[in-house]
Amino acid sequence: MILYYQTHSPFARKALVFAHEVGIADRLEVIHHETSPTLRNARVYAENPLGKVPVLLRPDASPIFDSDVICAYLDTLHDGRKLLPQDGEARWQALRLQAVAQGLAQTGIALRWETERRPEKLRYGALADGYREKIEASYDWIESTLDDEAPLHIGHIALATTLSWMAFRHLPPFRSRALLTRWFEAFEKRVSMQATPLSGDTHD
């Protein structure tokens, strides 16, 4: 399988960290692709009409995207404990945390547009403030709800890769939340995170 990737995407990294955690990273050929709303990448568009990575190319089936779908698919390819719980409350807790983490990353991306990527005269300060409020509220919610003793699941991977990216991009910090910080620092030491470091700048 081929994974269209980007070394500075929290979403692409989430898929690759997941592959490491379930023991199938060696089955992926990882190919870096630069993408942005203002920079068309024809090879990525050929596989994903949204022009985004990650995209998983399968040898005998159609490509799949985005990171949520790719992780769900990868979870069917191994015989170990599933990282997307199959039923019960554990499933909804994992998916809920994944949803918050994905939204947090998307909000961080939006904040970058309003503070550095968009031409300065077109930036909207009130919108940037609104994004900051969502980020801080998300950190507070995670701090108050995170079960740091729960078995590893997809929500944890989404959260760790998002928090790492937020720090990488110098977005509003989360480290004033003691539980969240301890949990993240422990997660960052995992082999899956060490094998997938963030690097590079966005190209528009």
Instruction: Tell me the domain boundaries of the chain.
Output: 2-74, 88-190
Question: How far apart are the C-alpha atoms of 162 and 5, rounded to whole Å?
Answer: 16
CATH 1.20.210.10 correct for 2-74: no
Residue 72, burial from CB neighbour count under 10 angstroms (0-12, 13-18, 19+): middle
Return the DSSP state at 115.
Answer: I
- Closest Cα partner for 157 from 113, 97, 116? 97
CA atoms in the 13 A half-sphere facing the CB of 58:
10
Q: Are 63 and 46 in contact, with CB atoms under 8 Å apart?
A: no
Q: For the whole model, what pTM was predicted?
A: 0.97
Please report, in tens digits, the pLDDT of each residue of the chain (204 residues total). 999 999 999 999 999 999 999 999 999 999 999 999 998 999 999 999 999 999 999 999 999 999 999 999 999 999 999 999 999 999 999 999 999 999 999 999 999 999 999 999 999 999 999 999 999 999 999 999 999 899 999 999 999 999 999 999 999 999 999 999 999 999 999 999 999 999 998 887
CATH 1.20.1050.10 correct for 88-190: yes
Q: Are strands 2-5 and 29-32 parallel, antiparallel or unpaired?
A: parallel
